[in-house]
Chain A
Amino acid sequence: MSALLEVRGVSKRFGGLVAVSDVSFSIAEGEILGLIGPNGAGKTTLFNIVNGVYKADQGSITFAEKDITRYSPDQVVHLGLARTHQIVKPLNDLTVLDNVTVGACFGREYLDMAAARKVASEVLQQVGLGDRADMMARSLTIAGKKRLEVARALAAKPKLLLLDEVLAGLNPTEVATMIELVRKIRDSGISVLMIEHLMQAIMSLSNRIVVLNLGRKLAEGQPDEVVHNSDVVEAYLGFPDIVDKLTRTD
């Protein structure tokens, strides 16, 4: 089986801080891989390395059989690797449609304006922003802006989509629709790598989960395997037997 994305031994340090240390994992085609870990574990840094915002100090990244370790973010998109941002970055003074058109124009297919507008309207329908196409991006709600992030990335016609906490800050109804959307994206043949804190969501969506802690890979496996892993429990909650110890009465 050939992996779509292969990350091998990637490290990144900022001065004295080792943000990501010797992390390896791979994603197969059509898979949803969940990336979890406590705050500051290096998840977003890892995203930034994969899509070229940061350059890895060590290790290599292969995407669709190309070495993309030294690629810049715009080159990575042309190959079909798109992402969303945890802190949304809407192009405020452009319309919602124009925002998504940017994604389509400069994405994998490098479409011209007319074709890009068409793709953009389709994607907006798909994510449920069809009726807000002519609004300025700044006037969307936070849920709307999160969808806009997804729509822009989708308009690039990616093979792999990196979703950075698309559920954070959404209410339960919005979470449910977003989960449905991610599932549809996977079913349309796009692989997904997602960072998420909402455990139910990541448990139900992911085929596999990678856990990061303090920049290192702590565990990897099926969702229910991972959550019962004692290292993972310790990373999240502290010493795993703590409940037993506290309640012991001898």
Chain B
Amino acid sequence: MILRRPFFWIILLIAAGFIYAPLHGNNVSLREDLILIAIAIILASNLNLMIGYTGYVNFGHIVFYGLGGYVGLYLTTVRGWNLVLAALVAGVVVSVCGFLFGLAILRLRGAYFALATIGILQAVQAFVSNFDPWGRSTGMYLSFASYQPLGGARRALWITYFLIIAVMALSMILSLAIKNSKFGLGLFAIREDEDAAVVLGVNATLYKAIIYSVSAFLPAVAGALMFFKNGMIDPSIAFEYMLSLEGIVMLMLGGQGSVIGAALGGTLYEKLRSYLLTSPVLSNFHLVIAGGLLLMVVLFAPGGLIGWLYRWVPRSRKVIE
């Protein structure tokens, strides 16, 4: 079914491009650029499942990424697990946590839900900062030996990169599959009018908890891979509140509710941010720009780039997902 969607093949092409470009000529600096873009796309795409599809703004989405990083690094370093297995288990563990958090806070709506997601982020960060097995506030370091099973550090970094690109492609495919499913239609109904959706037969409580949990899975896997690649983790970088907010900016910029919109927003914002961060004049100025950008988008193009396109070329709705 999903194989017949042209968009599915476009996603695979994008992923192939991400893999081919840095491999060609062994361009490590390009790889490091692309890895940040891939992470941005993963975060924005999965956040889109909550904000764009279900209409629930999650300010603490980064908690999944950070927790995934911790579980992944703990399993690979302390327990000596294989990277792929550790990342998958991290995804499952964090999804289960997400489901439980979801049942607890998804009774809330609108601004109250959004506030509760910040609470979850703070609570988890506080817990991890005091959790002895995970090194409290100093965090954990990867032992160099962990790279050995993957054939040394150089190869390990490439393998991690490919895995992250795979997670990026899966994020977009997941968004596409949900968008075209009955489950997705139920989520859209909840977004438009939750009371009406329930009266039409949608089990909103369950659907919301499921999507909250699903939106946790791939970011957690990505977190496990990314912190393995970085070789260290501590609570302040794992649960970086700014990154959580920037995820929302990416989504708003590209166009919430759209698969390509989330990916486009992630790419553009990440490009802009790396430019601003490295430019000597504008360093540390990027958050001002992000705030301004968000304001402009909300005021003048509430549907983001894709929403703007839909408005001026209504037929594009059918082609661009």
Measuring CB to CB, which residues of chain A are less than 8 angstroms from any residue of chain B? Answer: 51, 53, 72-74, 77-78, 83, 85, 89-94, 98, 101-103, 105-107, 112-113, 116, 152, 156
Known A112-B182, A113-B182; contact A74-B189, beta-carbon cutoff 8 A = no
Measuring CB to CB, which residues of chain B are less than 8 angstroms from any residue of chain A? Answer: 180-182, 185-186, 188-189, 191-193, 195-204
The reply to whether B193 and A77 form a contact with Cβ atoms under 8 Å apart is no
Known A74-B204, A89-B193, A105-B182; contact A94-B199, beta-carbon cutoff 8 A = no
Q: Bound complex: CA of A51 vs CA of B201, how far in Å? A: 11
Please give me the residue from chain B that is nearest to A112 by CB atom: B182
The 8 listed contacts between A and B (C-beta, < 8 Å) are A74-B198, A91-B189, A93-B188, A93-B192, A94-B188, A98-B188, A103-B200, A113-B180
Q: Bound complex: CA of A127 vs CA of B195, how far in Å? A: 23
Partner of A74, one of B180, B181, B185, B201: B201
Q: Which of A78, A83, A89, A103 has the most CB of B within 10 A?
A: A89
Chain B residues closer than 8 Å to A116, beta-carbon distance: 182
Tell me the total A-B contact number using a CB cutoff of 8 A. Answer: 74
Please give me the residue from chain A that is nearest to B303 by CB atom: A93
The reply to whether B185 and A98 form a contact with Cβ atoms under 8 Å apart is yes
The reply to whether A106 and B196 form a contact with Cβ atoms under 8 Å apart is no
Chain A residues closer than 8 Å to B181, beta-carbon distance: 113
Chain B residues closer than 8 Å to A106, beta-carbon distance: 186, 200-202
Q: Bound complex: CA of A46 vs CA of B27, how far in Å? A: 69
B192 to chain A, nearest CB (A): 4
The reply to whether A105 and B192 form a contact with Cβ atoms under 8 Å apart is no
Q: Bound complex: CA of A178 vs CA of B301, how far in Å? A: 39
The reply to whether B200 and A156 form a contact with Cβ atoms under 8 Å apart is yes
Known A102-B185, A112-B182; contact A94-B192, beta-carbon cutoff 8 A = yes
Chain B residues closer than 8 Å to A77, beta-carbon distance: 199-201
The reply to whether A102 and B199 form a contact with Cβ atoms under 8 Å apart is no
Q: Bound complex: CA of A98 vs CA of B182, how far in Å? A: 11
Chain A residues closer than 8 Å to B204, beta-carbon distance: 74
* Given A72-B198, A78-B201, 17 new contacts (CB under 8 A): A51-B199, A72-B203, A85-B196, A89-B195, A92-B193, A93-B192, A94-B192, A101-B185, A102-B185, A102-B200, A103-B200, A105-B182, A106-B186, A106-B202, A112-B182, A113-B180, A156-B200
Chain A residues closer than 8 Å to B185, beta-carbon distance: 98, 101-102, 105, 113
Q: Bound complex: CA of A152 vs CA of B201, how far in Å? A: 11
Q: Bound complex: CA of A112 vs CA of B182, how far in Å? A: 7
B70 to chain A, nearest CB (A): 37
Leading 10 A-B pairs by shortest Cβ distance: A106-B201, A91-B192, A77-B201, A89-B196, A102-B189, A74-B201, A73-B199, A73-B198, A89-B193, A74-B203
Chain B residues closer than 8 Å to A113, beta-carbon distance: 180-182, 185
Please give me the residue from chain A that is nearest to B201 by CB atom: A106
Chain B residues closer than 8 Å to A94, beta-carbon distance: 188-189, 192
Q: Bound complex: CA of A156 vs CA of B203, how far in Å? A: 15
Please give me the residue from chain A that is nearest to B55 by CB atom: A93
A155 to chain B, nearest CB (A): 9
The reply to whether A92 and B202 form a contact with Cβ atoms under 8 Å apart is no
Chain B residues closer than 8 Å to A101, beta-carbon distance: 185
Chain A residues closer than 8 Å to B191, beta-carbon distance: 93
Q: Bound complex: CA of A236 vs CA of B185, how far in Å? A: 44
Chain A residues closer than 8 Å to B202, beta-carbon distance: 74, 102, 106
Q: Bound complex: CA of A109 vs CA of B51, how far in Å? A: 29
Q: Bound complex: CA of A222 vs CA of B180, how far in Å? A: 49
The reply to whether B186 and A102 form a contact with Cβ atoms under 8 Å apart is yes
Partner of B199, one of A78, A85, A98, A112: A85
Chain B residues closer than 8 Å to A98, beta-carbon distance: 185, 188
